[in-house]
Amino acid sequence: MIIHEGYKNIKLRNPVVTLGYFDGVHRGHKYLLECLVKRAGEINGESVVVTLYPHPRKVLSGNKSDLKFLTSMDEKKVLLEKAGIDNLIIVPFTNEFSKKEACEFIKEILVDKIGMKQLFVGFNHHFGRGRGGDYNTILECAAQYGFKIERIKGITIDEGNISSTTIREALLKGELERANQLLGYDYFMNGTIVDGKHLGRSIGYPTANINPDYDDKLIPAFGVYAVEVILKGTSYKGMLNIGLRPTVNTGSEPRTIEVHLFDFHQDIYKSKITLIFRYRMRNEIKFDSIEELIKQMGKDKVEALRLLGSA
């Protein structure tokens, strides 16, 4: 996949284009992308994803929006490449850019700069100033500027279409299984191992504290998870806690993300790590004593190994 920062001096062969933020590159996105790639192949063209960065809501709110994302731009690049996309065009989103009307954006960038021959859109797609560009607007632009348009209905579930918003809500509610099912893969997070208080080591369960590499990464609900960990190219099994560690913390401590790797004894401070969230086992609990906490962690390890044994 070729990554274009901006849209100047782009020369593509019969570009078939789709436009969107594609947070999570979930099952609904993948269906649209499969259609895009297939059509590009049919006309001897190139598949093109055009995405805006940063997210419009972040820019228009003066970066005060508390919106968190399923994927960073780097994670999104990996997922789009796996989907078989030929070109990713990242368009810088600014306050000035936000004033462009939908048809103005289509003509100036998609048609004149990219040379779009065909546009694929989702069933409920809106873009342009005030999100005023809908399917009818795009049809008018297509007739005027001579490109084809195809509307993809997408994958539906009982609650409706699969969306990034639905997946974010599921993760925040602790519904990991549902979120993973909608994503089409297990939710993951890249981070760096940072120094902690070493409390886990003192009770026989040394943990690595994780600082997410992406500040706006959505962190799943507090609780205990069975996870797969990718560290220095090797996969390990472990159990992870997200929360406030109420049994050992007495003050207003910040949230921590800490993982215990099974049968692992290396020094990995400052190492890069990928957490893959396989199962959510339970809520975070405050125990009456450290002894009760240790006993529960023993049970958690047995359960995590059972779950991960078939993962």
pLDDT digit string, tens, across residues 57-86: 899 888 778 899 999 999 999 999 999 999
Cα separation values, 266 from 42, 174, 269, Å? 52, 31, 9
pLDDT band at 1 (very low <50, low <70, confident <90, very high): very high
Residue type, 129: R
pLDDT band at 103 (very low <50, low <70, confident <90, very high): confident
Distance CA 54, CA 23 (A): 12
Residue 125 CA neighbour count, 13 Å, CB half: 27
**Strand boundaries in the chain, DSSP class E:** 2-5, 15-19, 46-53, 87-92, 118-122, 148-152, 156-157, 160-161, 188-194, 208-212, 223-231, 234-243, 256-261, 272-282
Query: Which stretch of 135-144, 148-157, 209-218 has the lowest confidence by average pLDDT?
Result: 148-157
Taking 80 as the threshold, does the pLDDT of residue 140 lie above it? yes
Q: Which CATH class is domain 187-308?
A: mainly beta
Query: Cβ of 204: how many Cβ atoms within 10 Å?
Result: 10
User: CA nearest 68: which of 165, 140, 158?
Assistant: 165
Residues 113-133 have a mean pLDDT of 79
Region 12-161: CATH code: 3.40.50.620
pLDDT of residue 130: 60
Q: Are 107 and 7 in contact (CB under 8 A)?
A: no
Q: Are 52 and 7 in contact (CB under 8 A)?
A: no
160 vs 294 pLDDT, higher one: 294
Per-domain residue ranges for the chain? Answer: 12-161, 187-308
Distance CA 304, CA 281 (A): 8
What is the rounded average pLDDT for all residues in the chain? 91
244 vs 154 pLDDT, higher one: 244
Question: How many helices (H) and strands (E) would you count in the chain?
Answer: 9, 14
Residue type, 179: A
The share of the chain scoring above pLDDT 70, in percent, equals 92
